[in-house]
Amino acid sequence: MLDLMTLGLSMGAQEDLEKMREESGVSTVIQEDQAQNTATPAPVAAVANLLEGIESAASSAVAALMPSASVSESIASIAQAPTFDLSLPTAAKKS
């Protein structure tokens, strides 16, 4: 989920930067530099691996904090809810 959000934000930021570059007239120089720097998959893969590691660590931490089903069942069997007699009293019989 984090990867999708990051991808969406970076794509939006990239579009905004390209528009600003076109307006300022700097786009031609930067496009030549980008053509030379597009073949850098190693840093991208490293960042992807880092984000996957952070995501798995976060999910492990959340899983450790959440009780499992067996723990919940054992607590439910030990703890008993109070019971109340809500029946109406009956009239006393006259002898």
The pLDDT, as a whole number, for residue 26 is 63
66-86 pLDDT, tens digit each: 877 777 777 777 777 777 888
AA identity, residue 74: S
Task: Check if the beta carbon of residue 51 is closer than 8 Å to that of residue 2.
Answer: yes
Top pLDDT among 60 and 95 is at: 60
> What three-state secondary structure class fits 65?
helix
The C-alpha angle with vertex 36 and arms to 30 and 39, in degrees rounded to 5, equals 125
pLDDT tens-digit series, residues 11-48 = 888 888 888 878 887 655 555 666 555 555 777 788 88
According to the model, what pLDDT value does residue 28 have?
Answer: 57
The pLDDT assigned to 66 comes to: 80
37 or 51: which carries more pLDDT confidence? 51
- pLDDT value at 87 more than 60: yes
